[in-house]
Amino acid sequence: MLQLTPQLIIFFSVAALAIASALGMLFSRNTVYAALLLVLNFTTVALIYFMIGAPFIGLAQITIYAGAIMVLFLFVIMLLGTEVIAKHGPVGFQHIAAAFIGLVVIAEAIFVFLIKGQSALSIIPGGNVVDVMEIGDLLYNQYLLPFEITSFILLVAVIGAILLTKQERVKSRIGKDEAKK
Amino acid sequence: MGIETASIIEWVIKAAAILVFCTAGFAYVTLYERKVLARMQVRWGPNRAGPRGLLQPVADGIKLIFKEELIPVKADKVIFILAPVMTVIPALIITGVVPWGPVIHLFGRDIPLQLADINLAVLYIMSISSISVYGITLGGWSSNNKYAMLGGLRSTAQMISYELALALALVGPIMIAGSMSLNKIVEAQANSVPFILLQPLAAVIYMIAVIAEVNRSPFDMPEAEQELTAGYHTEYSGMKFALFFMAEYIKMIAVSTIGATVFLGGYLGPFVFDLPWLGPIYLIGKVAILLYGFIWIRATLPRIRYDRLMALGWKVLFPLALLNVILTGFGIVLFGGK
């Protein structure tokens, strides 16, 4: 049986907060509140990463997701002035797609649990803290190719974003070239 | 496991000391700024409250407490009240990883003069500073005022842009020290020279980027008073305004402390390992020098235009910071680092 150690109490309160903020995000009709609840959710998940001895992932999660990406989400919400979602908004097929993806994730979790059994659930508080050096070593030696491919995909995305904002100029230049011919 | 009661008391005292230092520091940095600005403009500055105006911050505080607090009718009340709090808290906790001095012996215990010596201190600083954007953005949005909104949006864009250069500027010292722990970075400087000599480019980029990050002149775009009345805090009054004000000055202290630790050798100074109590004094001295720099820049330079600010961040500071990382890498390979 589980013993109620301080670690478990902290884990369950953080987990409850994570689930509550996720639900709040889903059911909030105000997009600014939804975005903020998602930030809270990312932060609580980062706390869980700290507890399982992965402080680098936790801090990266806060810096990148809670700090950078969600700020941009808020930025877009505020610029477009779409703070309140209509009661029956035009989401349509997204409901079905979301439910499907959710089910896939839950099925995956159950699958992992069935294969690995109890060990998949074990949380080692404070044990085996992963060092940054090890992560860097793995990324630049064993996983160099996936790492480079990821950075290449990001580079393509950046170029795509630049092209989207420069569309006008590119079109006019193409027009000029054709006119020359 | 079981944590000793003595350790818990030690942590609580250290945390309280940091909070008291930050808030008292805030009060006196405002006076320091007004005095220095006044002297640069050939004035006396505040000199009525107390001897040489030393009680001026107290008088200002009392004034702000008794001011009426207004909340605009159409404001989003919850976020309007939360925004100042969300701005102050990151500013207060960011210095938790900075070492104040070497280990001291007190009551038969070895006490490091540092709240938390975490391995990822620099990354922690970056995460907290990336979180600190929210208070200003939301303060601007929830006021339901177009000037406040514009100020909030400007600050979001500005802070996100300068964070990149800021983070990359800190990578150089991390590479030389071989660790993200601020303690290790200071120790590495004890064995060689302060990193400002090895990383002059990174130090300059860091100083420019943090001025933008704490929204100080000449990058005080979010609160440009001619264009935006007062930017994101247009609608705030009384203590809520005071909290925004406080956050700006505490952030100034925090980034100066971090800058002093990473580039100026932190608590290091003559005889610091024989007399550990000198550590905090040296650190405060270095912080005061950097704060003087902030105030000097404010007194000297006019505000730059918004598009120029973004161009400076993305087209000058960011590539330079990347270049600095590459050069540092070459340097470490060629000269064996450390």
Residue A22 to residue A39: CA distance in whole angstroms = 10
- Token output for B224: 């440009």
DSSP, collapsed to helix, strand or coil, labels residue B109 as strand
Domain boundaries, chain A: 6-85+92-127, 143-181
Residue B225 to residue B233: CA distance in whole angstroms = 11
> Do residues A29 and A85 make contact, with C-beta atoms less than 8 angstroms apart?
yes
Placement of tokens 């247009």 in the chain = B234
* ipTM surpasses 0.85: no
Task: Answer yes or no: is pLDDT of A31 > 50.
Answer: yes
Whether the CA torsion B23, B262, A147, A156 is positive or negative: it is positive
State chain B's mean pLDDT as an integer. 82
At B35-75, the pLDDT tens digits run 888 888 888 878 787 787 788 888 888 888 888 777 777 77
| Cα B122 off chain centre by | 13
Q: Give the per-residue pLDDT at A174.
A: 61
Q: What CATH architecture applies to the domain A6-85+92-127?
A: Up-down Bundle (1.20)
Mean pLDDT of A81-99: 71
At B253-288, the pLDDT tens digits run 899 999 988 888 878 877 777 777 788 888 888 888
Placement of tokens 């369950």 in the chain = A12
> Do residues A69 and B156 make contact, with C-beta atoms less than 8 angstroms apart?
no
State chain A's mean pLDDT as an integer. 80
> Do residues B45 and B34 make contact, with C-beta atoms less than 8 angstroms apart?
yes
Contacts of A21 (CB under 8 A, 6+ apart): A37, A38, A40, A41, A44
Which parts of chain B fold into alpha helices (H)?
5-40, 56-65, 77-93, 121-131, 133-142, 146-177, 182-191, 195-198, 200-213, 225-228, 238-263, 278-300, 306-311, 318-335
Residue A78 parent element (H or E): helix A70-80
Residue B261 parent element (H or E): helix B238-263
Residue A22 to residue B248: CA distance in whole angstroms = 32
* Polymer length in residues for chain B: 338
Closest Cβ opposite residue A62 in set B118, B127, B149: B127
Q: Give the per-residue pLDDT at B334.
A: 85
Of B164 and A125, the one with more pLDDT: B164
Mean pLDDT of B140-163: 82
Mean pLDDT of B129-134: 85
Residue A58: pLDDT band with limits 50, 70, 90: confident
| CB contacts, 8 Å: B180 with chain A | 132
Residue A67: pLDDT band with limits 50, 70, 90: confident
> Do residues A127 and A52 make contact, with C-beta atoms less than 8 angstroms apart?
no
Residues on B contacting A at a C-beta cutoff of 8 Å: 1, 76, 79, 118-120, 123-124, 126-127, 130-131, 133-134, 137-138, 141, 149, 152-153, 156-157, 160, 163, 180
DSSP, collapsed to helix, strand or coil, labels residue B102 as strand
Task: Answer yes or no: is pLDDT of B33 > 90.
Answer: no
Cis peptide before B218 (omega within 30 of 0): yes
Closest CA–CA distance from residue B33 to any residue of chain A (Å): 30
Residue A74: pLDDT band with limits 50, 70, 90: confident
Nearest chain B residue (CA) to A132: B120
- CA-nearest of B2, B330, B320, B337 to B164 is B320
Of A109 and A81, the one with more pLDDT: A109
> Do residues B303 and B220 make contact, with C-beta atoms less than 8 angstroms apart?
yes
At B161-211, the pLDDT tens digits run 888 888 898 888 888 888 888 888 888 888 878 888 788 888 899 988 888
| Whole-structure pTM value | 0.82
- Token output for A17: 């907060």
Mean pLDDT of B221-245: 73
Of A180 and B304, the one with more pLDDT: B304
- Token output for B95: 């210095």
Q: Give the per-residue pLDDT at A177.
A: 60
Residue B338: pLDDT band with limits 50, 70, 90: very low
Q: What is the C-alpha radius of gyration for chain B, rounded to an integer number of angstroms?
A: 21
Task: Answer yes or no: is pLDDT of A87 > 70.
Answer: no
Q: Give the per-residue pLDDT at A17.
A: 92
Task: Report the 3 state secondary structure along B299-314.
Answer: HHCCCCCHHHHHHHHH
Closest Cβ opposite residue A32 in set B118, B131, B141: B141
Residue A35 to residue B137: CA distance in whole angstroms = 13
Of A108 and B240, the one with more pLDDT: A108
Residue A88: pLDDT band with limits 50, 70, 90: low
Q: Give phi and psi for B336, each to the nearest 5.
A: 75, 20
Closest CA–CA distance from residue A180 to any residue of chain B (Å): 33
At B309-323, the pLDDT tens digits run 888 888 888 999 999
Mean pLDDT of A126-131: 61
Of A165-179, B48-62, B135-149, the poorest mean pLDDT is in A165-179
Task: Answer yes or no: is pLDDT of B96 > 80.
Answer: yes
Task: Answer yes or no: is pLDDT of B1 > 50.
Answer: no
Residue B70 to residue B63: CA distance in whole angstroms = 15
Residue B240 to residue B152: CA distance in whole angstroms = 16
Task: Answer yes or no: is pLDDT of B326 > 60.
Answer: yes
Mean pLDDT of A153-162: 91
Number of neighbours of residue B225 by Cβ within 10 angstroms: 12
